[in-house]
Structure 1
Amino acid sequence: MFEGLGLGARLERTPWSPENSWVAWLFAFLFSITTPVGIAIGLGVRKTFELNSPRALITNGVFDSISAGILIYTSLVELMGGEFLHSDEFAHSSLKTVLGAYAWMALGAFLMALLGAWA
């Protein structure tokens, strides 16, 4: 859910030229069909998938690491960099406000990591 909200906010804030406005609609459409396509693939291979086979464990590890890398890149570079470095809100804010926002973001990241380790 949070990835969808973050991506939607970025798509909405990106200044698209009139001749390239279709790209935002394409990105939103592709993002919205990734989960149903993934579910369809999962349903298609559920009979042949052996949960503890070496191939399944390697595949799961590779896809988990790719997903984690994409999420780390997106959070650090795209979302956090865009909000803290290129935002009009923070450009004219005091250092206390920026550090407070950073502290809240770090607390949220810590709680999500704690939840991930617990789950």
Structure 2
Amino acid sequence: MLLRLDTSDTRPLHEQVAAALRRAIAEGECRAGDRLPSARDLSAALDINVNTVLRGLRELRDEGLLEFRRGRGITVAEGASRRSGLQIRVRELVAEASRLGYSRADVIDMIRGLT
């Protein structure tokens, strides 16, 4: 698992850590039952404070994506590897756009226009 933080991102670091892990789970890089590196190892790899990493990890635990267990460390929770409903909503969006006469390219252009 390779996590990177975007130095140009203005979000707090703990939110970036949580987002990077959410994406790794959603993309299947981390599967249910997989053990994550320790907070200390993650903080060293990301070159940030261990408390910042722990704050991001706790956020994911509170969302039900991670489990903290003594002696087993931090593992990805069962069912966490689903794309948190995002992929389903994207498909629904594309289907609705198609129903309204828009192509996928039109939807992509609309999304690009949001940034």
Between Structure 1 and Structure 2, the one with more strand by share is: 2
Fold match, TM over 0.5? Answer: no
Q: With the length of structure 2 as denominator, give the TM-score of the two structures.
A: 0.28
Higher relative contact order by CA 8 Å / sep ≥ 6: 1 or 2? Answer: 2
Q: Which structure: greater helix fraction?
A: 1
Structure 1 length-normalised TM: 0.28
Structure exhibiting the larger radius of gyration computed from Cα positions: 1
